[in-house]
Structure 1
Amino acid sequence: MSDPSTSSQQQPLTNGQITEDEASLYDRQIRLWGLEAQNRMRSSTVLILSLRSLAHETIKNLVLAGIGRLIIADGGVVAEEDLGTGFLFREEEGAVGKSRTEAALPQIASLNPLVSLTKLDTLEPFVGGSEEETVELLKKEKVDVVVACDLTRSLMETIDSAARKAGTMFYGAGTYGFYGYVFADLGESYEYVVNLPSGIAKKSLSYSSLSTAISSLGWSKASTETDQGGSPFRGLTRGTTKKAQPGLAIALLALWSYENEKGVLPIGGEGQVAELKDIAERIRVELGVNSKALPSIEADMIEHLATHATHFFAPTLAVLGGFLAQDVLRALSRKDKPIVNLLAVDTMGGTGTAASWGMGDAMDAA
């Protein structure tokens, strides 16, 4: 593993108040979010895992917003297919063949010289290491938020578990063709503030881990077991179900289930569309979705996921990367309500819906 202390590109910012240069650079944001929120962001450390695609737009938005420190981790090298996924890898600068972190670092640094940068030339211990090693690294580097981009569900569950033990907030996100998702786990007791007509109100949320969220739904258990109320769609009226638009979330859960069982994503092979459709229909029934509102999962959606799950599309990366970065900033600033807790995005239809999986209700903080 690379030693983080030897790979910083700028000196970390102090923990004091925002400087005059920062106040000038972030003037618009300070007026929008407030000085306290901006100071929280500039004192934060964000770790991005995997630089393959979604990370590009996410990093751009985080760095321009003025987080304090960014750590990028990836053990791969830039390939030809990486060149079209974002601005971090430039063919004219000889990126192909370089390590992804080495190629990305100068591009990130050019966005905002006030952000401290560190690179790790491996995904270990997050991938292939122990939970104890992961917890130790997160604590050592004082990571506030870890963002896992385009990793498998099983890997995200493992990383999320370690993040909870380290007291680090977790985001898992990825795209599959024109569709994508963001999952947030901000811990058992996440506090934030909202502006109401009556003044500023303190709120709190108790997030579930990804593994808890999945197991609470019932569909991932044996077919003889029943759902214990974890489904956010069970018992909804026809109109409310249509408004909630559960189809894409269910299709994504089906894709995760397929990948978890097969070890790979579908690539449009013979029988894969039908198999993914069968999984999605089973999940739809087991989640208790109103059949009058959603009698089946859209065939075009299933076919697209089964055929393009391994493909990256620039518009989808830009849209989802923007959503992801904005919510990470919201979580760091503790201003306004973050995603609760699974956001599914359809860039073809221009829609996005969020649903709460295995979570308790929001409550006023003491």
Structure 2
Amino acid sequence: MSAPSTSTHQAELSNGQITEDEASLYDRQIRLWGLEAQNRMRSSTVLILSLRSLAHETIKNLVLAGIGRLIIADDGVVEEEDLGTGFLFREEEGAVGKLRTDAALPQIASLNPLVSLTKLDTLSPFVGGTEEETVELLKKEKVDVVVALDLSRSQNEIIDSAARTAGTMFYSAGAYGFYGYVFADLGESYEYVVNSSSGIAKKSLSYAPLSTAISSSAWSKPSTQTREGGSPFRGLTRNTTKKLSPGVAIGILALWEFEQQKQALPIGGEGQVAELKEIAERIRQELGVNAKALPSIENEMIEHLATHATHFFPPTLAVLGGLLAQDVLRALSRKDKPIVNLLAVDTMGGTGTAASWGMGDARDA
């Protein structure tokens, strides 16, 4: 694995306190979130895996908010199709053919010179390496949050497992045409604060790893089973089920299963729509979704996923990347409740709903 390369754009840290330049730049959000939350963010390290699609909007929001250090990792070169996905790659600057990390670094640095930047010209060991190597790298680089973008379910499960061992918070996210998701695993004991009528209250959440949260073998268990899987839709009323819009989450789960079976996402080939529909209907039944609220999975959504799962639509990337970055900042600042724990988004329908998979309710810390 090649050694990390760090840019000259370093944040000036003064005994762990906010500097005058930072106080001026982040004045508005310090007033909004508070100095303590801002200090947590500026002392944090975030690792972004893959610079395609969602990385653009996610990175922009994280860097402008004032995280301390950003590590970007990618092993590919900029292609023509990358040019329309965001600001990281500029055709007029000859980005095509360059390493994605090299093309992206100056664009990121121009957003906020107070953020320290590091690049890795590989996705190893996160993709293709061992869990032990991944844990070692996360600890060595003191990564607070690792964000895996547009990777497969199996890859995400391996990275999540390593992140838990290293004590690193984990997010995965992906865009599939007009649809997408954000999954969060912030560890077995994540503490945060919320403002209540009686003042500031401390809360605690116990997150489930991805492999457990969406385990089909556990979907028959009650949804209140902490870290034991369980369907978040079983036993819900018709109206409550509709509010959670389970169809989108089921479509994404079906995509993941299809990808595991075929080792590739569907591309609209013969019979793929029918295959994806069959998987989705089976998952709907296994999850015990209220049949009055969702008697079947929408054909239009399945057809779109089967045809456009590998396509990137800029409006979807902007919406999903913004939601992802916002939640990463929330997790770092420990201010307000983060995603619990799978957010499914339909940008054409204008819906985004989160459901708790394999987790208990928040409790006082």
Question: What band does the TM-score fall into relative to the shorter chain?
Answer: over 0.9
Look up the match of 2:70: 70
Look up the match of 2:6: 7
Q: Which runs of 5+ in 1 are unaligned?
A: 220-225
Does the 8 Å contact 1:13/1:43 carry over to 2? Answer: no
Counterpart-to-counterpart distance in 2, 1:190 and 1:248: 27
Does the 8 Å contact 2:12/2:19 carry over to 1? Answer: no
User: Which whole-Å deviations, capped at 9, do the CAs of 1:183-233 have from their partners, x for residues lacking one?
Assistant: 000000000000011100000000000001121x438xxxxxx72220000
Counterpart-to-counterpart distance in 2, 1:243 and 1:78: 40
Counterpart-to-counterpart distance in 2, 1:61 and 1:11: 18
In the TM superposition, what is the alpha-carbon distance from 1:12 to its structure 2 partner? 4.9
Does the 8 Å contact 1:181/1:342 carry over to 2? Answer: yes
Look up the match of 1:361: 361
- Please tell me the residue identity of whatever aligns with 1:310: T
Look up the match of 1:273: 273
Counterpart-to-counterpart distance in 2, 1:270 and 1:88: 35
In the TM superposition, what is the alpha-carbon distance from 1:239 to its structure 2 partner? 1.4
Which deviates the most, 181-190 or 244-253? 244-253
Look up the match of 1:244: 244
Counterpart-to-counterpart distance in 2, 1:364 and 1:51: 38
In the TM superposition, what is the alpha-carbon distance from 1:362 to its structure 2 partner? 1.1
- Please tell me the residue identity of whatever aligns with 1:8: S
Look up the match of 1:285: 285
- Please tell me the residue identity of whatever aligns with 1:227: S
The CA RMSD over aligned residues, in Å, is 1.0
- Please tell me the residue identity of whatever aligns with 2:250: I
Counterpart-to-counterpart distance in 1, 2:12 and 2:131: 29
Look up the match of 1:160: 160
Residue 115 in structure 1 maps to residue 108 in structure 2: no
Counterpart-to-counterpart distance in 2, 1:228 and 1:184: 21
Look up the match of 2:182: 182
Match of 1:228 among 221, 231, 237: 221
User: Which whole-Å deviations, capped at 9, do the CAs of 1:322-346 have from their partners, x for residues lacking one?
Assistant: 0000000000000000000000001
Task: Give the secondary structure class of the aligned counterpart of 1:125.
Answer: coil
Counterpart-to-counterpart distance in 1, 2:188 and 2:284: 28
Task: Give the secondary structure class of the aligned counterpart of 2:214.
Answer: helix
* Aligned residue runs from structure 1 range 246-261, under 5 A: 246-261=246-261
Counterpart-to-counterpart distance in 2, 1:248 and 1:260: 19
Look up the match of 2:226: none
Task: Give the secondary structure class of the aligned counterpart of 2:173.
Answer: strand
Look up the match of 1:199: 199
Counterpart-to-counterpart distance in 1, 2:143 and 2:303: 39
User: Which whole-Å deviations, capped at 9, do the CAs of 1:234-259 have from their partners, x for residues lacking one?
Assistant: 00111111111111001110011000
Look up the match of 1:82: 82
Equivalent pairs counted in the alignment come to 357
In the TM superposition, what is the alpha-carbon distance from 1:274 to its structure 2 partner? 0.6
- Please tell me the residue identity of whatever aligns with 1:35: L
Look up the match of 1:37: 37
Q: Which runs of 5+ in 2 are unaligned?
A: 223-229
Counterpart-to-counterpart distance in 1, 2:334 and 2:212: 24
In the TM superposition, what is the alpha-carbon distance from 1:7 to its structure 2 partner? 2.9
In the TM superposition, what is the alpha-carbon distance from 1:9 to its structure 2 partner? 3.2
Does the 8 Å contact 1:13/1:116 carry over to 2? Answer: no
Counterpart-to-counterpart distance in 2, 1:317 and 1:299: 23
Does the 8 Å contact 1:9/1:118 carry over to 2? Answer: no
Counterpart-to-counterpart distance in 2, 1:172 and 1:244: 20
In the TM superposition, what is the alpha-carbon distance from 1:24 to its structure 2 partner? 0.7
Look up the match of 1:94: 94
In the TM superposition, what is the alpha-carbon distance from 1:361 to its structure 2 partner? 1.8
Task: Give the secondary structure class of the aligned counterpart of 1:218.
Answer: helix
User: Which whole-Å deviations, capped at 9, do the CAs of 1:8-64 have from their partners, x for residues lacking one?
Assistant: 332354351101111110011001000000000000000000001100100000000
Residue 125 in structure 1 maps to residue 95 in structure 2: no
Counterpart-to-counterpart distance in 1, 2:73 and 2:2: 10
Counterpart-to-counterpart distance in 1, 2:104 and 2:234: 45
Residue 321 in structure 1 maps to residue 321 in structure 2: yes
Task: Give the secondary structure class of the aligned counterpart of 1:89.
Answer: coil
Counterpart-to-counterpart distance in 1, 2:360 and 2:199: 25
Look up the match of 1:218: 217
Counterpart-to-counterpart distance in 1, 2:282 and 2:12: 51
- Please tell me the residue identity of whatever aligns with 1:338: P
Counterpart-to-counterpart distance in 2, 1:202 and 1:174: 31
Which deviates the most, 48-57 or 234-243? 234-243
Does the 8 Å contact 1:218/1:287 carry over to 2? Answer: no
Does the 8 Å contact 2:190/2:204 carry over to 1? Answer: yes
Task: Give the secondary structure class of the aligned counterpart of 1:48.
Answer: strand
Counterpart-to-counterpart distance in 2, 1:144 and 1:102: 23
